[in-house]
A = this chain, B = another copy of it.
Amino acid sequence: MFSKSCEYGLRAVIFIAQQTTKNNMVSLSTISEEINSPQAFTAKVLQQLTRSNIVKSVKGPYGGFTIEDNKMNTKLSEVVSVLDGDAIYTGCGLGLKQCDANSPCPLHFKFVEIRDGLRNMLENTSLLSIAEDMNTDFTILKR
């Protein structure tokens, strides 16, 4: 479904969001341990998310990553767009460049439903809501 970059990125940003609700700044090494991801590779992914202003990074002692208050309502769809682009929402399931309602592939209308379901889910799920859920329900981010 998603690339490895995107999987690590989502897990990382979710972990950071959850820690942010507890006012914890988290370092790269903590993140990669807690989400069980390759550290150097995760660093690259976090750089992208920092440049996109989804997470905030702080260098130096006691530094790390956090999410600013007004960014806690970032939607998962934004994270996915930054890391994987939006082909998963807009692209044809059969890989055709020009496939739309006017000139559809044989599966177009069936795929549109699936894609819309995914898009709606991601567009309606904010980092804050996931973090809040995690403080209620038991969930995992590694293994």
- Interface, chain A (partner B; CB < 8 A): 1-2, 4, 7-8, 10-11, 14, 76, 88, 91, 93-99, 103-108, 110-111, 113-114, 117-118, 121, 125, 130, 133-134, 139-143
Contact of A114 among B8, B106, B114, B134 (CB under 8 A): B114
CB-based contact A110/B121 at 8 Å:
yes
Q: A1-B88, A107-B125 are in contact. List 13 more A-B contacts (CB 8 A).
A: A7-B93, A7-B94, A11-B95, A14-B106, A76-B107, A104-B139, A105-B140, A105-B141, A106-B134, A108-B139, A110-B121, A111-B121, A113-B117
CB-based contact A140/B104 at 8 Å:
yes
Copies of this chain assembled into the complex:
2
CA distance A11 to B107 in the complex (A): 10
CA distance A8 to B93 in the complex (A): 11
Q: Give A115 Cβ to nearest chain B Cβ, in Å.
A: 8
